[in-house]
């Protein structure tokens, strides 16, 4: 219960920071979906949906997927809710398959968002040049799309890894080719165009930007002193421990916090909801453009606020998120 | 009942093909509206609307006009539904007069759509040139707007007709002038700038594109062998019989099927619904642009699929329509 | 009761003229809000909202602020309505603070709208030149934003005033600087870059455009004969008495009527509603652009109609507003 | 407006006194129904109903007939409301024809109620005997059913009248026979079994109970000093002027006030509502029994309270009605 | 479709005759439930319910069981509807199992109703005596409860049968004992306390009342001339063909028609609905009493009307049913 | 959370046992209401109500009072819910003050119910005689009404107590007089008509029935061996510990369990709900009669079942409660 409440609170500030008309709530079923058959999973999902029917809805509370849920599950929730109403209501959930009302561009949203923010941070902190080199930890959904978009922007990705190890090429990796290889063969290490590095080595490669894009708690008090990056952009959730955060601050290595850097998925969730409400669906380009605009304006607000208040970006982002919520609450009043 | 069910099924595939979030249903009253007074027609419409109130609605089922219904009738349905709810709900029907929430550009939608697809088909099948000549059968709502838009595109319309006969000018007819004449005098034959042709002759004129844009079942096994066109674009519903279809296929004359070619009206119906839901109404230009984009992307999907699967366009279009529906159905599941 | 009914009727024609899908209704509480504490005002507002709950709603009747109500009050109405439904419904009112769903650009909407229409009127009546001089009576919300936007357009504002008196500079006033001074010091007269004029003198200064942008009934049969302006653009509500109107017509001084000239606020109210319905919020630029487009097209419709019917602009605007409503009514029919 | 508000307030206290879960509201259309055709009356009723749809309903506000409305009109209101909901909702109005959900026993309710209270008052004030004589002014719906029920109870009705005059028989009139005559021939005066009296004489006949059962303001300061009755039971609404009331009090003639004495119709309206909610309809006997029980218990409460507080019955009844409402209001609180 | 419509119409008149606030509609799925597994039947029922959700409801249309449906199916319909609303709504169907809101006394309702009417008919037609003998064709739900109740009334049942044959005892059969035997052993013929008769013989036994309580069309033009009963009471639906009906009328054998005689089940369906609406459930005795009262009052109305209009009971019953509906319709008007 | 869930489960079986169409749920706010002002309590209640609005309702979930809540709080819940709907909905809660829809007879319901069951138990277990003596522990709401009703039945109450001590009179206490004294003076010990006993002594007085009617866990393994009663009737919730229960069973002292004995309050809660749904309110006598009937029939079912299954009453009652719920669940099925 406590963890769920904490996640809900975090989501509230994250939505506030991104200025989305969403609150933040979390719920779920305590089950390992991997142990269920397709049929059991469907029935469990439909039952759970039936139980929460009175408190969800396109203008009430809109479930979005998280760990352990996938587009198929969101489709069942949507279908169960819709059948109870008697007609199709796509906007009751986000994370749906595109064919039944999901948003184009959702898959790549978080990664692209990380890339947009990285570009802005490089410019803001005057570290942008032709020779910028980026190291990305993780090459899953977030890491790979971050790499692809950075490539589009002409920013070199020099190292990536997966659970089995990483590869490094100081002249930059050909991201599309690498991705193709990984999709075909399964591992980053199957790509032959670079030197192998261990996952520990990767974190401490010399680079302009280090983007942890896989798990939480990977930059710790143990490795933080040895990082050789110009800045950290948190693509994953909570990759930096509190102690590591202190060390990086002392070392003057800026950290672009997760609440800002990886908000792309949340923002496109919001777009999906809006498209469903309007029953009008956007092109992939429109989604990318709108996402970019929002990521960048949020980055500027956070960076300006951090500068003005002389606090780290992480604190600035949190303060802005909370301020947005509290101002709205104050205007509306507590009623009843 | 059977015919209604068939029409409903066709509409389902047509919406699927155009990727609109609409299903397909049909209903009506067995009456000849021509025998009713204005007052009787209003009362009949309101009564019918009252009977179907529980199953229609802006997010349920949205009646659109068909043969025998006009904007005035749609206005009554909208008003009856709205009065029962207590406030105005424009998006409960489409085909309304513009002043109460209809869409600009709906009148010309089918014709323009036929023209957009004709242009694409000419390019796709490498028959586009300065000397392209088009013959249009019928000069009603569909035929005249097709002709106008083709004219805008610099494509020559060399012959058109109406129930009384046709005119032919191998150098191209001045469509706007012709349309003005028809509106003033009533018949295509009243225009003097071309040679008279019978309706039978018109179908077999030598041309690059023949566009039947009036009635169904006009290209038959009798005249199909004699057509001298490079391709057929079906502006009307079902203008080609099954036997004629086979003959044209053997003769290697591509047929752009009605489910694709004349979807413009349906698509703008969808736009009208969206505008009503958003309570935000688009300019005529915005409607035309969006219609063009969708007609063209649908054409490409059908043509690509036909090529890939090596089937005629008609079959390809049907397969795509059904596939869209069945994929969505599969994802949602059968529940309860 | 009579006054409220009259205001409601006027609002109906104004919405009709601007082609907004709004009717016109008015309601309120007979109280001087200035005599209430913040807490009393909140409770009064919530009680009033509770009483009208069954007849308001995002698709029913949408309260907008008028004299005596402010964004805070609209926030309470929205919150009270939303809490009764169980979830946030921004589109139930307009005039909300931006942070809870208000529209960017609403503050400046009326003033900018007046400026857009002024520019059009100058061009239409062939009085546009580099030396155009505008006099604005009033420097509150409407007057100041009118002045700012005219300045942007390169049109000289030569005199403005407030309740304490005015200033005049035949070479044009630097509007931004003047506004800064007024915001800091409190009075127009505190600005030193012009000659002082009395409020009576200001009205009769020689100019191309006189824009009364403060109170009603300021151009009267007494001062109308002495006006030395090329035209009058009514930024305020009802600034010209009926007798004065007659005099100006005889003097061939065109009057751009309030129902047209100051509709900017109403139009952005409409935008705010649409944004709330879509749960998608526009940039300030988008609001300005869309406002400009609508103000200008409305101006053209009124001016064309006045010319065609050979009636004054005021009458033309009223006729168009009523016509819009009556046409829609006729199409929908009287039911039950 | 003022009169309507006053009627609404009176109804509120009357419901409070009878302990019915009804509030009191009044509304209407300013029209003389006698000037309308049947068709016009239907359309007016349906339109009016449509206008008040959002504020009426079986659990909201339940229209009941008053002067100028009849069962047919209530049927139309019910039908209009029901058709807007899509199914029959009898409990949305009272006063309906029995066949569509009206209550048996409603016609005679007020008259029977007057009779029940008369019996109780006679016993309470020790004036009950075999020789009790009652004079009834008016022989319409209220007067005739009062007379019939008094007859059932063995109480003699010695005089009744209508607008044309009255008849008097000190030995008692045979009420059923008299009623039959009136129904056949039209006037009380057509009955031959008694002496003719003028309407003025009737009021001052010597009797135990005088029951004004026709119009308001008939017992005035002019005739009150001359009344020769033991008590007055107000069957009509407001038959006694304020001055007359004072005179009677000084003369120690108890007045059973209208708010108590003629509540029978209201109480059966309540029964009709309950029957509609339950969709279960009572026999005529059940209605009579329940009515009698409630009339009698209300009489006892008023009489006890008047005695305890030493106030006239009229004041006691009003105080009890208000107290009921204010206690409920206090418990519920003012919210919002 | 035609048959369904005819059944719906019949139900309408039957409800009208019994003065129930029900209309009459019929619907179903074309399937033989016997070919479905329990699980398939549940899924079919839930799907069908989902499809008709918008048109059923406790105040809209209330499904009741008919041939091929049983309490379990009604429970599923109720559950499916309830789950879609989010809470239990027993009154949406009738024929439910008692434990989830069904009515006590429903099982025996039709049979008891037949018996009540039989008693009344005997008295009315002066054929009631100590020696009355009744023959019942069929010993299923209707026949057995008819027999039991007749036994309670002291009326002798002298013969009953089932599909395998019948038994006859001119001194009367001990119904409870017989029923016990049938329940244990399965056939009427297993009871040894009477003479065996064929099903053909049974119909023509000499008796005071013949009650066909099994199938339709069993009294035909072939056997009608040979009946030796004093009257026929139709416990089954449509047991008498039109020709047989004519013959019996000529022979002066009164027929108590099915629409009247077997209405007991329908009436208790109505009670079940009322109990669900009230969420208050009656004792078995209360159900029996109320059923008896209604059967008897309906019988009287039909018999009186038949006498007054000099028509057979069957026609009288139909006329009364239609009159009830048409009067209500006339009062409500046709709207819209 | 665990405790709340357990209470909810218990309530479910209790409702099942009493055959009420209620489920069982529990909720609340973790606060000591004694520390809140009247105004704070109102605001807390209204806020809590607002939070649970979507899941309560007259046909959904009906809050009833428990420890720490009183009629005033229930009035606020009802008012808050009602104001959100726009009209008064009494049946959304039970435990309301009578004047706003509470049930007459609720106050005395639990105590009377205990007395009814005591009488039945005495008869059933053949211990009923003129000399029956009852000891009641506790003289609050439950104990005093139990004593009063036992007195009405002619059963002697020989001892009662409160927190300060008890009194004992082997010839029986005059309950009404005793109650008057306690209400006036405050303590049971202030009554002079008996011998003082300590609270420990009271439990072990020799008697036919011991009724613990105050706190839980008062009959323990320590005092159970010393009880000198013929049976125990649990008026309080959980007065007997599990060990004590075993001891009493071994000693052959029947225990009428709380789930049965003190269900009177719950049953009248149900009556209150029904009255609110019907908007028709019962007399106090009707409530008492109906309560008695239900208490007695439940007692019989439990006692018969205990006998048949040869289990203690407590287990029998629980089994019946669960069986009722599980049978209904099985019939309805698990869906979705």
Q: What is the pLDDT of residues D261-319, one digit of tens each?
A: 999 999 999 999 999 999 999 999 999 999 999 999 999 999 999 999 999 999 999 99
Q: How far apart are the first and last CA of chain A?
A: 26
F44: closest CA of chain A, how far (Å): 9
Give the count of Cβ contacts less than 8 A between chain B and C: 46
Radius of gyration of chain F (CA): 20
pTM, rounded to two decimals = 0.95
Q: Is the pLDDT of residue D130 over 90?
A: no
pLDDT of amino acid A127 = 79
Query: Residue C83's closest chain D neighbor by CA?
Result: D336
Which of A43, A54, A80 minimises the CB distance to F54?
A54
Looking at chain C from residue 163 to 192, which residues have their Cβ under 8 Å from any Cβ of chain E?
A: none
Whether residue F126 is predicted with pLDDT greater than 90 in this model: the reply is no
Mean pLDDT in order along chain B per 10 residues (336 residues): 92 97 93 96 97 95 94 98 95 97 97 98 88 96 97 96 96 96 94 94 96 96 97 97 97 97 98 97 97 98 98 98 97 95
| Nearest-CA distance D48 → chain B (Å) | 12
Across the interface, whether the CB atoms of B335 and F336 are under 8 A apart is answered yes
Separation of alpha carbons D228 and D170, rounded Å: 14
Residues of A in contact with B324 (CB under 8 A): 99
Q: E14, E26, E221, E329: which is the annotated catalytic residue? A: E26
Q: Which of C79, C63, C78, C105 shows the shortest CA–CA distance to C295? A: C105
User: Cα(A325)–Cα(A16) distance, rounded to whole angstroms?
Assistant: 6
Q: Which of residues 206-225 of D touch B (CB under 8 A)?
A: none
| Integer CA distances (angstroms), E17 to B106, D105, D279, E6, E295, in order | 53, 21, 17, 17, 11
Distance in angstroms (rounded) separating the CA atoms of residues A121 and A127: 8
HEC per residue, chain A = CHHHHHHHHHHHHHHHHCCCCCCCCCCCCCCCHHHCCHHHHHHHHHHHHHHHHHHCCCCCCCCCCCCCCCHHHHHHHHHHHHHHHCCCCHHHCCCCCHHHCCCCCCCCHHHHHHHHHHHHHHHHCCCCCCCCEEEEECCCHHHHHHHHHHHHCCCEEEEEEECCEEEECCCCCCHHHHHHHHHHHCCHHHCCCCEEECHHHHHCCEEEEEEECCCCCCECCCCHHHCEEEEEECCCCCCECHHHHHHHHHCCCCEECHHHHCCHHHHHHHHHHHHHHHCCCCCHHHHHHHHHHHHHHHHHHHHHHHHHHCCCHHHHHHHHHHHHHHHHHHHHCCCC
B47 has a chain E CB within 8 A of its CB: yes
Interface check for C2 against chain F (CB to CB < 8 A): the answer is no
pLDDT tens-digit profile of F12-39?
Answer: 999 999 999 999 999 999 999 999 999 9
pLDDT of residue F128: 76
Of the candidates F76, F100, F279, which has its C-beta nearest D328's C-beta? F100
Collapsing DSSP to helix, strand or coil, D126 comes out as: coil
Task: Examine the pLDDT at D326 and tell me if it is beyond 80.
Answer: yes
Q: With contacts defined as CB-CB under 8 Å, which chain B residues touch A278?
A: 274, 277-278
Interface check for F322 against chain C (CB to CB < 8 A): the answer is no
Which other chains touch chain B, taking contact as 3+ CB pairs less than 8 Å apart? Answer: A, C, D, E, F
Residue of chain A whose alpha carbon sits nearest to that of D335: A336
Asked if E278's CB is within 8 angstroms of D87's CB, the reply is: no
C156 is catalytic: no
Q: What is the pLDDT of residue F240?
A: 98
Q: What are the phi and psi torsion angles at B334 (to 5°)?
A: -95, 110
pLDDT at D128: 76
3-state secondary structure of D256: strand
Interface check F59 vs E, CB under 8 A: yes
The per-residue pLDDT for A179 is 96
Query: pLDDT tens, E28-85?
Result: 999 999 999 999 999 999 999 999 999 999 999 999 999 899 999 999 999 999 999 9
Would the CB atoms of B43 and E336 count as touching at under 8 Å?
A: yes
For the four alpha carbons of E232, E234, E239 and E241, in that order, the dihedral sign comes to: positive
Give the pLDDT mean for F177-195: 94
Q: What is the 3-state secondary structure (H, E, C) of chain F?
A: CHHHHHHHHHHHHHHHHCCCCCCCCCCCCCCCHHHCCHHHHHHHHHHHHHHHHHHCCCCCCCCCCCCCCCHHHHHHHHHHHHHHHCCCCHHHCCCCCHHHCCCCCCCCHHHHHHHHHHHHHHHHCCCCCCCCEEEEECCCHHHHHHHHHHHHCCCEEEEEEECCEEEECCCCCCHHHHHHHHHHHCCHHHCCCCEEECHHHHHCCEEEEEEECCCCCCECCCCHHHCEEEEEECCCCCCECHHHHHHHHHCCCCEECHHHHCCHHHHHHHHHHHHHHHCCCCCHHHHHHHHHHHHHHHHHHHHHHHHHHCCCHHHHHHHHHHHHHHHHHHHHCCCC
Which residue is it, tokens 């609270």? F199
Q: Does E76 contact F333 at a Cβ distance shorter than 8 Å?
A: yes
Cross-chain Cβ contact C83/F86 below 8 Å = no
Cβ neighbourhood burial of E232 (10 Å; 0-12, 13-18, 19+): buried
Instruction: Return the residue in B82, B84, B85, B88 with the most chain D beta carbons within 10 A, the one to mutate for interface testing.
Output: B84
| Residue among C155, C258, C255, C262 at smallest CA distance from C210 | C255
* Nearest neighbour of A50 by CB, restricted to E53, E54, E83: E83
Domains and CATH numbers, chain D: 2-102 (3.40.50.10860), 109-261 (3.40.50.720)
Q: Residue F85: which residues within 8 A CB-CB, separation 6 or more?
A: none
The conformation of residue B102, written as its DSSP 8-state character, comes to: P
Touching partners of A (3+ C-beta pairs < 8 Å) = B, C, D, E, F
Residue the block writes with tokens 């690059």: B208
Residues of chain B contacting D54 with CB distance shorter than 8 Å:
86
Please state, in angstroms and rounded to a whole number, the distance separating the CA atoms of residues D270 and D94.
8
| Chain C residues lying within 8 Å of F83, measured CB to CB | 50, 84
CB E184: neighbour CB atoms within 10 A? 8
Q: Which residues of C touch D76 (CB under 8 A)?
A: none
What is the pLDDT of chain E when averaged over all its residues?
A: 96
Which among E54, E80, E334 has the least Cβ separation from residue B336?
Answer: E80
Residue C145 has pLDDT above 90, yes or no: yes
For residue C38, give the chain A residue with the closest CA.
A333
The arrangement of strands across the sheet holding E156-162 comes to E195-197, E165-168, E156-162, E133-137, E206-212, E228-233, E255-256
Closest by CA position to A182, among listed A133, A219, A143: A143
Judge whether residue C1 has pLDDT over 90: no
pLDDT of residue C242: 97
Low pLDDT (below 70) residues in chain A: none
Q: Annotated catalytic residue: which of A14, A26, A96, A330? A: A26
CB-CB neighbors (< 8 A) of A75 in chain B:
331-333
Q: How far is A336 from chain F (nearest CA, A)?
A: 5
Instruction: Name the 3-class secondary structure at E105.
Output: coil
Identify the residue among E21, E94, E320 best suited for mutation to test binding to D, counting D beta carbons within 10 A and taking the highest.
E21
Token readout for D109 is: 């309710």
For residue E295, what is the enclosing H or E element?
helix E284-309
In chain B, which residues have their Cβ closer than 8 Å to the Cβ of C327?
99
Interface test with B, best of C22, C289, C335, C336 (most B CBs within 10 A): C335
Q: In what order do the strands lie in the sheet with A255-256?
A: A195-197, A165-168, A156-162, A133-137, A206-212, A228-233, A255-256
Asked if pLDDT for residue E129 goes beyond 90, the answer is no
Q: Give the total residue count for chain E.
A: 336
**F336 at the B interface (CB within 8 A)?**
yes
The helix (run of H) or strand (run of E) holding residue D147 is helix D141-152
For D87, nearest residue in chain B (alpha carbons): B54
Q: Is the minimum CB–CB distance between B336 and chain F shorter than 8 Å?
A: yes
Instruction: Write down the pLDDT at residue C182.
Output: 95
- List the single residue in F1, F80, F336 with the smallest CB-CB distance to A46: F336
Instruction: Compute the distance between CA of residue A26 and CA of residue A8 in angstroms, rounded to an integer.
Output: 5
Q: Give the pLDDT of residue A128.
A: 76
pLDDT for residue C158 is more than 90: yes
Q: In chain B, positions 67-96, which contact chain D (CB-CB < 8 Å)?
A: 83-84, 86
Residue B196, SS3 per DSSP: strand
Is some CB atom of chain B closer than 8 A to the CB atom of C54?
A: no
Q: Provide the mean pLDDT of chain D.
A: 96
One-character DSSP codes across B236-270: SSS-B-HHHHHHHHHTT--EE-HHHHTTHHHHHHH
In Å, what is the CA distance from A249 to each residue of A239, A260, C148?
A: 15, 17, 45
Interchain proximity E328–D80, CB inside 8 Å: no
Instruction: List, for residues F44-73, the tens digit of each pLDDT value.
Output: 999 999 999 999 999 999 999 998 999 999
Whether the CB of E282 is below 8 Å from some CB of chain F: the reply is: no
Residue A297, pLDDT score? 97
């Amino acid at each position: 219960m406590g963890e769920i409440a904490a996640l809900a609170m975090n989501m509230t500030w994250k939505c506030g920071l991104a200025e989305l008309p969403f609150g933040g709530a979390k719920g779920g079923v305590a089950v390992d979906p991997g142990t269920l058959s397709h049929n059991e999973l469907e029935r469990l999902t439909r039952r759970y949906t039936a139980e929460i029917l009175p408190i969800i809805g396109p203008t009430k509370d809109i479930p979005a997927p998280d760990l352990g849920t996938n587009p198929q599950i969101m489709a069942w929730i949507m279908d169960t809710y819709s059948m109870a109403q008697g007609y199709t209501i796509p906007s009751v959930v986000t994370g749906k398959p595109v064919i039944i009302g999901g948003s184009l561009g959702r898959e790549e949203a978080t990664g692209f968002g990380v890339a947009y923010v990285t570009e802005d941070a490089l410019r803001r902190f005057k570290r942008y040049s032709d020779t910028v080199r980026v190291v990305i930890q993780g090459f899953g959904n977030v890491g790979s799309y971050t790499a692809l978009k950075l490539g589009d922007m002409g920013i070199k990705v020099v190292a990536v890894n997966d659970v089995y190890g990483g590869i490094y090429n100081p002249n930059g990796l050909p991201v599309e080719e690498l991705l193709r290889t990984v999709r075909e063969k399964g591992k980053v290490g199957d790509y032959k165009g670079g030197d192998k590095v261990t996952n520990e080595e990767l974190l401490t490669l010399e680079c302009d930007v280090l983007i942890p894009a896989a798990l939480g708690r990977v930059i710790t008090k143990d490795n933080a002193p040895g990082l050789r990056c110009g800045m950290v952009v948190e693509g994953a959730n909570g990759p930096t421990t509190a102690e590591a955060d202190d060390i990086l601050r002392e070392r003057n290595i800026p950290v672009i916090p997760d609440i800002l850097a990886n908000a792309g998925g949340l923002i496109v969730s919001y777009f999906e909801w809006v498209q469903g409400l309007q029953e009008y669906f956007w092109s992939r380009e429109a989604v990318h453009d709108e996402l970019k605009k929002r990521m960048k304006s949020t980055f500027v607000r956070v960076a300006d606020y951090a500068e003005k208040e002389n606090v780290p970006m992480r604190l600035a982002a949190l303060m802005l998120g909370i301020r947005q919520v509290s101002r709205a609450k104050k205007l509306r009043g507590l009623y009843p």
